[in-house]
C-alpha cells in the first residue's frame, strides 16, 4: 500500500449539489433579460444607488428627494404616523431625513415606491392576497425588530415588503406555467409554494426576488435573507446576520399569513408561537400582546401607500378564533389519545418482544458462538466501513492480526475441548485489554483481528504489545493441567484519506506483518506503519482547524466536555464541495470544474481544486476539518451535554466562522 503526497477525497456529488437544471438557468436568464421588470421610480432608484456609496451624505439624498414633491409628502406622512410614534410632528423633509438616518431613508423611499412598481397583473384577485401579506409582514418585521433591539428595523421592513416580489415577476413572465401554482389553496401555498414553483419552473419566487433586488443594487444583507426567507435553515453557515434576518422574515411571513384562510389559522398560530419561543425567546403571552396593536399601524401604512389590499382582519379576533379552534382540537385529540394509549401499550409490548428477538438474532449473526468475539462475517463488513469512515474524517486506522503459536499441538495433544477452552480465554483477554470502541473478531481457526479506529502508530504498537503480553500470560487450566500459548502479532496503521489502496490491501499489510513475526522466530510483534511524515503533517494541519481545537484553545470548554459533546452530537454527512460553496470559496461553475477534473484525472477533490488554483491548501485543510467535525453538530452536542448554553454555543460558532473566513490558523 502506498500513499500520495497530497490528497483530498470526496464522495460523488449528490443530486442536490449538482448544477441547476437547464430549465432553472433558462428561467433566471429570461427574468434577467425581461424588459418590463419592476423597477423603482427614477428618484427612488437614484436614492438607492447614492446610498450604496460609502461617501454618500444625507444632504445629497435630501436634494434628490425634494425633486419629487409627492414622495416628500409621503415621507412626512410616514414619519408622523403611528409607526414612529413621535410626540411632536415633523414638518420639514430635512428634519425627517435627519431623524431617520441614511439607511432608514433608503428603506423608506423604497417602501413608499412599492405601488408604482406593481406589475399590471397585480390586479388579479389571487395576487392581492400576496400584497396584503407583504404589507402586513413588513410592519410585523419592523415592529418585531424594534422589540428585539435589532439595529436596522427599516431594512427588515423593506426586506419583508419585497420578499415575495418574485411571485409577481413569475406570474408576469410565465403566466401559463405559473397559473396552476396560484390556483392552489391558501393551505397548500402556505407550506408548499416554493416546492411547487421549483417543480414547474426549476426556481422559486424567493430566488427571483433576490435576483431582481440585486439588480437594483440593494446590498447582500437584504437580498440574501430574502433568498432564504422561506427556508431559513438553508442559509449559508457563518453569516449570522443573514441567518437572523432570514428567520425574522420567515416569522413575519407566517404571522402575516394569519390573515388568510380561517382553516389555516390554528395551525399557523401554533407554528408562530413555537417559532417565537424557540428562536426569539419570547413567551406566547408576550408575542400575542405584541400582535394586538399592529392593525392600526398596518392600516396607516396601507393608506400611505394608497394600495387596495382588501379587508384586514383584527389580529385580536384572529388569535381569539384560532385559540378556540386549538382548544377544541386539543380536547378532541385528548379523547382520541386516551383511546389510542391502550392500543399503543399493546403495540409497545409487542415491539419490545420483537426488539429482543431481533437483538438476539443480530448477536447470533455477528458473534462467534464459541468465543463471543465478532465473527468473520461481521469483520468483513466492518473493515471497509471503518476504512471509509476514517477516510472521510481524515483519521488514522489501525488493524491487528494475531495468530496463536503452538495451538495445533495443543489440539493434537490434549484434544479439541482443551483447544476450545484456550480460544475462549484468548478472546476474553483480547476483549478485556482492547480499548473501548475497538472491535475484536475471530477471523478463523486460531486467528483473531482487532480493528483500532482513531489510532496513531504509537497507539497501535502499544496496543499490539499489550495484547501480546495478555495472551502470553494466560494460564489455561484444563483437567488439572495448565496450558500456555503464544501469539505472533502483526500490526498495520494507515491514513485511508491519503492512500489509493483499499481496505483489502490494508488487511493484507497486517497479515504480512503477522507472517513477518512468525518468520523471525514466532511469538513476536511486527508493526507495519504506512504513515509517512507528510501524512502526519497533513493530519496535524486538519486537526489544527477543528472546531474542538478552536474551543480548547479559547478555554471555552474542557477536553472532557468536548468528548461528552462529541458523543451527544448528531452525525451529519457533509460534502466538501457543498461546504466550499456555502463558504463562498467556490462558485457553482468552479465546483463543476473541480468535479469534472476529479473524474477525468481520478484525483481527490482537494487535489483537483488546488491543481486548478481554485482553492489554496489551507482552505482544503479547513474544509476537511469542518467535514470531520461540523461546528453546528458539535455545538448541538455541547448544548446537550450542558457544556454550553445555546447563546454561548452560537457565539463560539460565529467566532469560529470568523476565524475560517480570515484563515488565521
- Three-state SS string over 335-379 comes to HHHHHHHHHHHHHHHHHHHHHHHHHHHHHHHHECCCCCCECHHHH
A 10 A CB-CB count for 482 gives 9
> What is the number of alpha carbons within 13 Å of residue 99 lying toward its C-beta?
18
C-alpha grid cell, residue 316? 385580536
Residue 652, classified by CB atoms within 10 Å of its CB into exposed (0-12), middle (13-18) or buried (19+), is: buried
Query: What backbone torsions phi and psi does residue 185 show, to the nearest 5 degrees?
Result: -70, 165
Distance of CA 301 to the CA centre of its chain: 38
Residues paired with residue 481 on neighbouring β-strands, in sequence order: 478
CB atoms under 10 Å from CB of 623, counted, come to: 29
Angstrom distance (rounded) from CA 487 to CA 451: 17
Model pLDDT, residue 506:
94
Cα–Cα distance for residue pair 160/249, rounded to 1 Å? 6
Q: How far apart, in Å, are the Cα atoms of 120 and each of 38, 156, 158, 164, 172? A: 10, 26, 21, 16, 8
Report which of 252, 244, 226, 220 is spatially closest to residue 169, judged by C-alpha positions: 226
User: For residue 509, what pLDDT is reported?
Assistant: 95
pLDDT, residue 12, reads 40
The torsion angles phi and psi of 555, rounded to 5 degrees, stand at 60, 30
What is the C-alpha separation between 516 and 443, in angstroms, rounded?
18
Which residue in 636, 654, 641, 455 sits closest to 550, CA to CA? 654
Q: What is the mean pLDDT of each run of 10 residues along the chain (665 residues)?
A: 38 40 73 81 79 79 82 84 81 83 81 66 61 86 90 87 88 88 84 89 91 86 91 82 90 84 75 85 83 83 76 71 62 63 71 69 79 92 92 92 92 89 95 93 94 92 95 88 91 92 93 92 91 92 94 94 91 85 91 91 89 94 93 93 93 94 87
Res 618: pLDDT: 94
Cα 558 to Cα 551: distance, rounded to the nearest angstrom: 8
Sign of the alpha-carbon torsion through 83, 86, 91, 95: negative
Tell me the residue length of the chain. Answer: 665
Give the span between the Cα atoms of 294 and 296, in whole angstroms.
5
Residues 6+ apart with CB under 8 A from 5: 534
For 45, 72, 194, 241, 315, the CA distances from 152, given in Å and listed in that order, are 20, 22, 27, 11, 25
CA distance 184 to 615: 45
Helix 240-256 vs helix 265-280: crossing angle, to nearest 10: 150
Q: What residues contact 620, with CB distance under 8 A and at least 6 apart? A: 8, 606, 609, 610
d(CA 209, CA 633): 31
Q: Can you list the positions of beta strands (E) in 148-277?
A: none
In 2-124, which residue ranges form alpha helices assigned H by DSSP? 22-33, 42-51, 58-65, 69-79, 93-100, 102-112, 114-117
Tell me the three state secondary structure of residue 272: helix
Q: What is the pLDDT of residue 325?
A: 62
Bridge partners (DSSP) listed for residue 442: 448
DSSP state of 499: B
pLDDT reported for residue 658: 93
3-state secondary structure of 574: coil
Amino acid at each position: 500500500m502506498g500513499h500520495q503526497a497530497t490528497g483530498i477525497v470526496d464522495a460523488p456529488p449528490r443530486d442536490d449539489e449538482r448544477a441547476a437544471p437547464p430549465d432553472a438557468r433558462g428561467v433566471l436568464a429570461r427574468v434577467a433579460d425581461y424588459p418590463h421588470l419592476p423597477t423603482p421610480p427614477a428618484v427612488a432608484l437614484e436614492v438607492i444607488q447614492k446610498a450604496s456609496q460609502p461617501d454618500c451624505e444625507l444632504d445629497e439624498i435630501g436634494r434628490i428627494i425634494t425633486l419629487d414633491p409627492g414622495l416628500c409628502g409621503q415621507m412626512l406622512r410616514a414619519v408622523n404616523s403611528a409607526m414612529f410614534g413621535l410626540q411632536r410632528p415633523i414638518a420639514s423633509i430635512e428634519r425627517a431625513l435627519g431623524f431617520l438616518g441614511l439607511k432608514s431613508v433608503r428603506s423608506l423611499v423604497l417602501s413608499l415606491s412599492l405601488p408604482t412598481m406593481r406589475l399590471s397583473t397585480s390586479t388579479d384577485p389571487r395576487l392581492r392576497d400576496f400584497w396584503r401579506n407583504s404589507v402586513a409582514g413588513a410592519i410585523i418585521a419592523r415592529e418585531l425588530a424594534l422589540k428585539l433591539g435589532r439595529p436596522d428595523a427599516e431594512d427588515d421592513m423593506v426586506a419583508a415588503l419585497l420578499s415575495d416580489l418574485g411571485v409577481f415577476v413569475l406570474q408576469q413572465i410565465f403566466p401559463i406555467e405559473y397559473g396552476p401554482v396560484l390556483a392552489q389553496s391558501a393551505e397548500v401555498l402556505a407550506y408548499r409554494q416554493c416546492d411547487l414553483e421549483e417543480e414547474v419552473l426549476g426556481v422559486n419566487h424567493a430566488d427571483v426576488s433576490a435576483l431582481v433586488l440585486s439588480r437594483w443594487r440593494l446590498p447582500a444583507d437584504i437580498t440574501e435573507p430574502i433568498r432564504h426567507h422561506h427556508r431559513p435553515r438553508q442559509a449559508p453557515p457563518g453569516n449570522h446576520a443573514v441567518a437572523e434576518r432570514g428567520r425574522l422574515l420567515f416569522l413575519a411571513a407566517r404571522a402575516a399569513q394569519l390573515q388568510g384562510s380561517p382553516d389555516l389559522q390554528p395551525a399557523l398560530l401554533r407554528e408562530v408561537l413555537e417559532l417565537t419561543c424557540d428562536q426569539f425567546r419570547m413567551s406566547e403571552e408576550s408575542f400575542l400582546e405584541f400582535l394586538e396593536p399592529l392593525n392600526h399601524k398596518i392600516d396607516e401604512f396601507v393608506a400611505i401607500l394608497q394600495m387596495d389590499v382588501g379587508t384586514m382582519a383584527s389580529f385580536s379576533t384572529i388569535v381569539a378564533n384560532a385559540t378556540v379552534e386549538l382548544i377544541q382540537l386539543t380536547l378532541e385529540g385528548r379523547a382520541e389519545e386516551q383511546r389510542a394509549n391502550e392500543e399503543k401499550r399493546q403495540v409497545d409490548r409487542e415491539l419490545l418482544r420483537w426488539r429482543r428477538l431481533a437483538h438476539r438474532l443480530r448477536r447470533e449473526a455477528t458473534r462467534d458462538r464459541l468465543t463471543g468475539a465478532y465473527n468473520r462475517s461481521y469483520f468483513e463488513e466492518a473493515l471497509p466501513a471503518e476504512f471509509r469512515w476514517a477516510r472521510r474524517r481524515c483519521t488514522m486506522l489501525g488493524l491487528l492480526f494475531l495468530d496463536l503459536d503452538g495451538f495445533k499441538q495443543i489440539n493434537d495433544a490434549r484434544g479439541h475441548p482443551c483447544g476450545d477452552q484456550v480460544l475462549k480465554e484468548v478472546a476474553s483477554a483480547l476483549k478485556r485489554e482492547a480499548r473501548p470502541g475497538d472491535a475484536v473478531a475471530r477471523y478463523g481457526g486460531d486467528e483473531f483481528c482487532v480493528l483500532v479506529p482513531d489510532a496513531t502508530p504509537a497507539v497501535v504498537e502499544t496496543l499490539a504489545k499489550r495484547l501480546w503480553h495478555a495472551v502470553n500470560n494466560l494460564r489455561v487450566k484444563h483437567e488439572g493441567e495448565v496450558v500456555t500459548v503464544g501469539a505472533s502479532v502483526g500490526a498495520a496503521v494507515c491514513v485511508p484519506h491519503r492512500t489509493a489502496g483499499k481496505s483489502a490491501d490494508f488487511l493484507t499489510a497486517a497479515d504480512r506483518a503477522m507472517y513477518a513475526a512468525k518468520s523471525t522466530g514466532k511469538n513476536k510483534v511486527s508493526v507495519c506503519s504506512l504513515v509517512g511524515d507528510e501524512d502526519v503533517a497533513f493530519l496535524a494541519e486538519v486537526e489544527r482547524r477543528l472546531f474542538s481545537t478552536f474551543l480548547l484553545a479559547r478555554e471555552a470548554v474542557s477536553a472532557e466536555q468536548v468528548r461528552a459533546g462529541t458523543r451527544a452530537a448528531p452525525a451529519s454527512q457533509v460534502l466538501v464541495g457543498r461546504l466550499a460553496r456555502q463558504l463562498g470559496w467556490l462558485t457553482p461553475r468552479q465546483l463543476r470544474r473541480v468535479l469534472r477534473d476529479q473524474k477525468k484525472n481520478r484525483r481527490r477533490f482537494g487535489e483537483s481544486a488546488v491543481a486548478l488554483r481554485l482553492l489554496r491548501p489551507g482552505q482544503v485543510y479547513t474544509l476537511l476539518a469542518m467535514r470531520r467535525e461540523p461546528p453546528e453538530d458539535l455545538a448541538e452536542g455541547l448544548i446537550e451535554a450542558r457544556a454550553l448554553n445555546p447563546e454561548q454555543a452560537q457565539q463560539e460558532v460565529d467566532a469560529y466562522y470568523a476565524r475560517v473566513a480570515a484563515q488565521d490558523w
